[in-house]
Structure 1
Amino acid sequence: MQIRNWYDLQILAAVRSGGSIAAAARLLGIDQTTVGRRLNALQEGTGVNLLVRTGDRRLVLTPAGEEVAERALAMEREAIAASALLGEQRQRVAGTVRLTAVPMLVNRILAPAAVPLLSEHPDLTLELIPENRDLSLTRREADLALRMARPESGGSAVKIRKLGALRYDAYGPNGGATDTPAPWILFEDAMAHLPHARWLERRARRDGQGAGGLRVGDAETALEAIAAGLGCSILPAMIADQDHRLAAIAVTGAEPLPEREVWLLSHARQPNAAAIGVVTAWLEGLFRS
């Protein structure tokens, strides 16, 4: 005999769990009349007596009813477990996210902070691409990009949001002078338009530094040059404060040290929205803190 309505078995299981039709009705959130009607339909449809009324007018399960109810309870437990599994699968994040940023952000912030992200989402692949060149999101060279200034273009295909700002401080080698030593480590001409490079040029002229000395092409090289004792420079405090080879130095004068905004670029339409969302939230937490 095939059972046509599985809900009737759920009602029978509720009677077994609650001990009465009234309790079953409360468990299921329906009225007692519906419980009684569905139980009668189940017995008539199967031709098996599942409940009997005792001398004191109580309904109790027959041995066959007890066995069917136990199996119905087992089905209910399996259904709950299946629902939980589906929920876990829906929340599981998988796929690959390509994230690009300047080498210093990738090497000094993103890579060290990736451990908890990847531990929480073992099916996620995070590709970190250290690149001074602005990779194109519209050409799918990357899924996400961090920029150190508000993007001027991108069009409707690219979304942008500000994550925070990197505050700059002046640093020299650990164990060196606590005031500003000479010379300043400057940046090459290709970097001259950047706010920290402009600040350094003005400061070097003020301090009477000549045309000679070391010039570098990125902040990563400047950091290593400071650690080697070649001079001092300004760096993002979020990064430099973590390097024991460096020490903050005092900078006198009216001109404040610069800050650089950090912006996140993403595609307006993402093929893997769940993975992109997880990585985006991770980035927001890093730069918010």
Structure 2
Amino acid sequence: MQKSMMSAGQMNWDDLKFFLEVARTRTASSAARRLGVDYTTVSRRIGALEKALGTLLFERSRASGFVLTTEGQHLLGYAEALESTLQTACEQVSGASLALSGHVRIGSTEGFGSYFVAPQLGGFQDIYPNIAIDLLPVPHFISLSRREADIAITLERPERGPYVCSRLCDYALKLYATPEYLQRHPPIRQVEDLGRHSFITYVDDLAFSPELLYLEGIVPNASSTLRSTSVVAQYQAALQGRALAILPCFLAGPDARLVEVLPDEVKVIRQFWLYYREDLRKLKRITLVADYLRACAERNRAFLLGDAGEMVIA
């Protein structure tokens, strides 16, 4: 494509919105769904932007989708900076009416998002009814750099990146079984007895964080009758009474169908980290959600550590 010089006035700035979504999703169809348009509109707008700039922004392939070229990578940084600046300017110029409205997308680990965050959000929406929440509880890593979420809750602190990050909470995992399982299988009086039992656990090579691989440290070479990438699936399987499972207390603790096994000997402590991009620090709706989640975690410190039976909901 022949390069051409152009002024800012010649560019259709709305095309940058399409460019950003394609860069983040890597497919025109996914970008179209997020933008509420059809595939051909996305393809046409990307083509128009490339023509206006006189350069290819994406390499297209069936295997990899839309992959940014060197020129596209350069534009991405500027486009994201413009997007963030515009969002901040709109909030500050429009005042509280806009600052307390809009969308916030939270990406969380599957169990914590489904069983702790989701029940807490009703209280937030009572206070801020014009802020819509998208909750993404998924058993994999959420990428903030690709704008998959505004706020992330993860097991590990990000090692690098322009993020505002804080430790959200500690939480405990304990060993659980159904009473029926314990009646049918050899007694468990000490940790050494666990070697005679089967476990429900993670698929080691597919675990999205090494923080999930705690069973080996408790029962080396443990026998596993079922492995799953989903902690919710592990929980549901444990309810069938066919094996033991190490589960988060916030998930299994309130369920009377499960009992703790060796609660003093088997207790794993992990952390959740909350973070968002530095360029969102000035967006009031982002900080409101982040502060609310921190307050919910603080109120439930004992519950998350398995020392209280019921969750406190604001």
- The answer to whether TM tops 0.5 is yes
Q: Contact 1:98–1:127 at 8 Å: present in 2 too?
A: yes
Equivalent residue number for residue 273 of structure 1? 283
Q: Distance in 2 between matches of 1:193 and 1:279?
A: 25
Q: Distance in 1 between matches of 2:149 and 2:271?
A: 20
Aligned pair count reads 194
Equivalent residue number for residue 161 of structure 1? 166
Equivalent residue number for residue 103 of structure 1? 110
Equivalent residue number for residue 187 of structure 1? 202
Task: Identify if the C-alpha distance between structure 1 residues 271 and 166 changes in structure 2 by more than 3 Å, giving closer, same or farther.
Answer: closer
Which is greater in Rg? 1
Q: After superposition, what is the alpha-carbon deviation per residue over 1:216-244, rounded to whole angstroms, capped at 9, x for unaligned? A: 21321111111111211111112221223
Q: Secondary structure at the match of 1:213?
A: strand
Equivalent residue number for residue 141 of structure 1? 148
Q: Equivalent residues in 2 for 1:78-157 (5 A)?
A: 89=96, 93-153=100-160, 155=161, 157=162
Alignment RMSD (CA, Å): 2.8
Equivalent residue number for residue 36 of structure 1? none
Q: Distance in 2 between matches of 1:271 and 1:244?
A: 42
Question: What stretches of structure 2 of length at least 5 have no aligned partner?
Answer: 1-94, 189-193, 301-314
The one-letter code matched in structure 1 to 2:292 is: W
Q: Report how far residue 92 of structure 1 moved.
A: 6.9
The one-letter code matched in structure 2 to 1:142 is: A
The one-letter code matched in structure 1 to 2:122 is: V
Equivalent residue number for residue 251 of structure 2? 239
Task: Identify if the C-alpha distance between structure 1 residues 89 and 174 changes in structure 2 by more than 3 Å, giving closer, same or farther.
Answer: farther
Q: Equivalent residues in 2 for 1:43-58 (5 A)?
A: none
Q: Distance in 2 between matches of 1:264 and 1:252?
A: 29
Q: Contact 1:137–1:266 at 8 Å: present in 2 too?
A: yes
Q: Distance in 2 between matches of 1:271 and 1:160?
A: 11
Q: Distance in 2 between matches of 1:162 and 1:171?
A: 27
Q: Distance in 1 between matches of 2:209 and 2:141?
A: 16
Q: Contact 2:201–2:246 at 8 Å: present in 1 too?
A: no
Q: Distance in 2 between matches of 1:282 and 1:271?
A: 15
Q: After superposition, what is the alpha-carbon deviation per residue over 1:41-95, rounded to whole angstroms, capped at 9, x for unaligned? A: xxxxxxxxxxxxxxxxxxxxxxxxxxxxxxxxxxxxxxxxxxxxxxx95697211
Question: What stretches of structure 1 of length at least 5 have no aligned partner?
Answer: 1-87
Q: Contact 1:196–1:234 at 8 Å: present in 2 too?
A: no
Instruction: Report the TM-score when normalising by structure 2.
Output: 0.55
Q: Contact 2:180–2:241 at 8 Å: present in 1 too?
A: no
Q: Distance in 2 between matches of 1:194 and 1:276?
A: 29
Q: Contact 1:175–1:247 at 8 Å: present in 2 too?
A: no
Q: Contact 1:172–1:232 at 8 Å: present in 2 too?
A: yes
Q: Distance in 1 between matches of 2:180 and 2:242?
A: 13
Q: Contact 2:178–2:259 at 8 Å: present in 1 too?
A: yes
